[in-house]
Amino acid sequence: MENGTSVTRKMIIFQLEDEEYAIPVNHIGSIERLLPITRVPQTAPFVKGVINLRGVVIPVIDLRLRFQMKEAVLNDNKRIIIALINEMEVGLIVDSANDVIDIREDQIESPPAVIGTIDADYIDGIAKIDNRLLILLNLLTVLSFEELDKIQSLEV
């Protein structure tokens, strides 16, 4: 941080249950309304299926189920965040996508071992901004290479 400038990360904020999460904007392709999801047999429970987004078939995972939270009813309030994980587009179902903010590096703390049911492996850090506590996700660990490989090979 030379010359008194602090490095910031532009993050998209989204919600699961009562928690707010953040992922870097540069990992995001778009945020979509809930689209029809085609189930795919023999996938992990958190893999909801695939969507057809402007002619591209994209696998969709339910982040609530991935983090072992209670499954929510899918309705018009839900959003699908199209994220790029290891050069692969994956849809992430979230309760809502709230806003885009800049988070300064000095606002980010190391994650505790566990936050609720979410394993620390998935967390890059915790940001305290005003009265908000934001959990910064590491998308590269949310899905393992094996899981990404399986999802990528989904036959529709």
- Reported as a single tens digit per residue, the pLDDT across 110-123 is 877 655 556 667 88
Of 114, 110, 120, whose CA–CA distance to 141 is shortest?
Answer: 120
Confidence of residue 61 (pLDDT cuts 50, 70, 90): very high
Segment 78-103 mean pLDDT: 93
Query: Is 153 a residue whose pLDDT tops 90?
Result: no
DSSP tally for the chain: helices H, then strands E: 3, 13
| CA–CA distance, 113 with 123 (Å, rounded to integer) | 9
Query: Is 145 a residue whose pLDDT tops 50?
Result: yes
In this structure, are residues 135 and 19 in contact, taking their beta carbons and an 8 Å threshold?
yes
Q: What local confidence, expressed as pLDDT, does residue 56 receive?
A: 92
- Domains of the chain as residue ranges with CATH: 2-152 (2.40.50.180)
Q: What is the pLDDT of residues 15-59, one digit of tens each?
A: 999 999 999 999 999 999 999 999 988 888 899 999 999 999 999
| CA–CA distance, 100 with 21 (Å, rounded to integer) | 11
> What does the radius of gyration of the chain's CA atoms come to, in whole angstroms?
16
Q: What is the mean pLDDT of the chain?
A: 86
29 by Cβ neighbours in 10 Å (0-12 / 13-18 / 19+) ranks as middle
Higher pLDDT, 149 or 136: 136
Q: What local confidence, expressed as pLDDT, does residue 115 receive?
A: 57
Q: What local confidence, expressed as pLDDT, does residue 82 receive?
A: 97
Phi, psi (deg, nearest 5) at residue 145? -60, -40
Q: What local confidence, expressed as pLDDT, does residue 1 receive?
A: 42
What residues are paired with 123 via a beta bridge? Answer: 137
Residue 52, CA distances (Å) to 14, 61, 98, 101, 145 in order: 22, 14, 24, 29, 23
Q: What local confidence, expressed as pLDDT, does residue 142 receive?
A: 82
Model confidence, pTM: 0.86
